Amino acid sequence: YVNFTSGSTGTPKGVVVCHRNVCEFIPCFAETFAITEKDVLANQAPFDFDVSVKDIYSGLFTGARVEIVPTAYFTNPTKLMDFLCDRGVTLMVWAVSALCFLTTMNALAYKTPTTLRAILFSGEVMPIKHLHKLQKYLPDVQYVNLYGPTEITCNCTYYVVDREFAENESLPIGVPFKNERILLLTPDGGEAVKPGEIGELCVSGTSVALGYYKDAERTAASFTQNPLNHAYIEPIYRTGDLVQVNERGEMVYVSRKDFQIKHMGHRVELGEIEAAAMRCDAVTRACCTFDAERQRLHLFYTGSCEKAALLAALKESLPPFMQPNTAVQLDEMPLNKNGKIDRTALAALTKKGAHK
């Protein structure tokens, strides 16, 4: 199949995934999470979003039942919860934004599916405050943070949440699936192995896709030879994601190379500003964009927090060069077709003067 990326960091690209990629990944995925014919998967993602690949093919491979959740239910939390309960759903492999809809709309206070055994999430960083709300209503469910772009057939690492996390912490992205190898490469082509050292996450193995459809230039830039292997051909995919190893030896997502900007002479990770905003109690989602031409940081957020209070809190927690120039309160975040926050749409809002 060919799946187009969300385009959240640029123009969408058609990722060519072959039979071998799927046939190598899905049995490994099903085995890792003990999916059997007794499971009922609630399919949340549209079929042109690779989150759905895990539902479709896991069902075909194991005989599990796949229930397709009507799109309209994601604007009606009571119907959504009725659906999950009535269908006896045991497994949810969902995008983070869809789970945040449940917690933001307080859907779990209405009803919780007692048959549910595991929630696997991916697509964006899971805000810890939303994870806590899920755990409050579903304490016995297994939570798994999945990581990986479309280019490596869905996911390359997973982390089973096995401890309590504070709201200022980040969930690790975990360990590689057994048919994939992870490399953290530094700009000079070395490997980042020391605690705190940041490297670009690169993937090798049988789930690395064939490349981009009719786009040889982009394929050559992202699907390259492993610079650490001088003995034979070993293709890797360069994700563009920056990762570091924490003091526990766990890999933690830091940001995208695209989101690492230079502001007031300092290197800034937009994700750190977003994380600081999310630590404010009344903020439900946050996204920061950078206007390179005007050298301005724009923070967009949802929730009941007053703009002045949010900016004051950020002044306490962030150095001057990381403090947003503006904060815009939205009723809801614009999402692209894959359910991720649409940064391009937010950047367009600033050009229209919505930040004034």
| Greatest pairwise CA separation for the chain in angstroms | 59
Using the predicted structure, report yes or no on whether residue 217 has a pLDDT greater than 90. yes
The pLDDT assigned to 353 comes to 57
Separation CA 209–CA 223 (nearest Å) = 9
| Residue matched to tokens 């280019």 | 151
Q: For residue range 308-356, list pLDDT tens digits in order.
A: 999 999 998 898 889 999 999 999 888 877 677 888 888 888 766 544 4
The pLDDT assigned to 87 comes to 98
Percent of the chain scoring above 70 in pLDDT: 96
Residue 292: HSE in the Cβ half-sphere, 13 Å Cα cutoff: 7
Reported confidence tier of residue 251, pLDDT bands at 50, 70, 90: very high
The pLDDT assigned to 163 comes to 94
Nearest alpha carbon to residue 246 among 200, 193, 201, 202: 193
SS3 115: coil
Q: For residue range 94-132, list pLDDT tens digits in order.
A: 999 899 999 999 999 999 999 999 999 998 889 899 999
Question: Which pTM value belongs to this model?
Answer: 0.82
SS3 108: helix
Q: Minimum mean pLDDT among 83-97, 143-157, 317-331: which range? A: 317-331
The residue among 281 and 351 whose pLDDT is bigger is: 281
Contact 208, 238 (CB under 8 A): no
